[in-house]
Amino acid sequence: MSHQILVPAEVLEQVLSDAKTRRFVAVAQDALWRNKYSSVFEYPADEKQQIADQSEDE
């Protein structure tokens, strides 16, 4: 069985703005409290963020 969760890019950017890494894992829990984890997903940085990061490094 497969499910999808759609999250707007703006929300992801806001959540990931202070994160040390842009990798995350989703978890679902069934009625018996068993957890099922997704594979690791690495959300790519947008161009504006990459430019800002590069200017901070200089």
DSSP 10: H
The residue length of the chain stands at: 58
List, in order, residues 6 or more apart from 46 with CB less than 8 Å away.
9, 13
Report how far Cα 43 is from the mean position of its chain's Cα atoms: 5
pLDDT at site 2:
67
Query: What's the confidence (pLDDT) of residue 34?
Result: 93
Q: What is the pTM of this model?
A: 0.50
pLDDT at 18: 83
Q: Please tell me the distance from the alpha carbon of residue 26 to that of residue 5, in angstroms, as a whole number.
A: 10
What is the C-alpha to C-alpha distance for residues 17 and 2, in angstroms, rounded to an integer? 29
- Integer-rounded Cα Rg, in Å, for the chain is 15
pLDDT digits (tens, 9 = 90+) for 3-57: 777 888 888 888 888 888 888 888 888 899 999 998 998 888 765 555 555 556 5
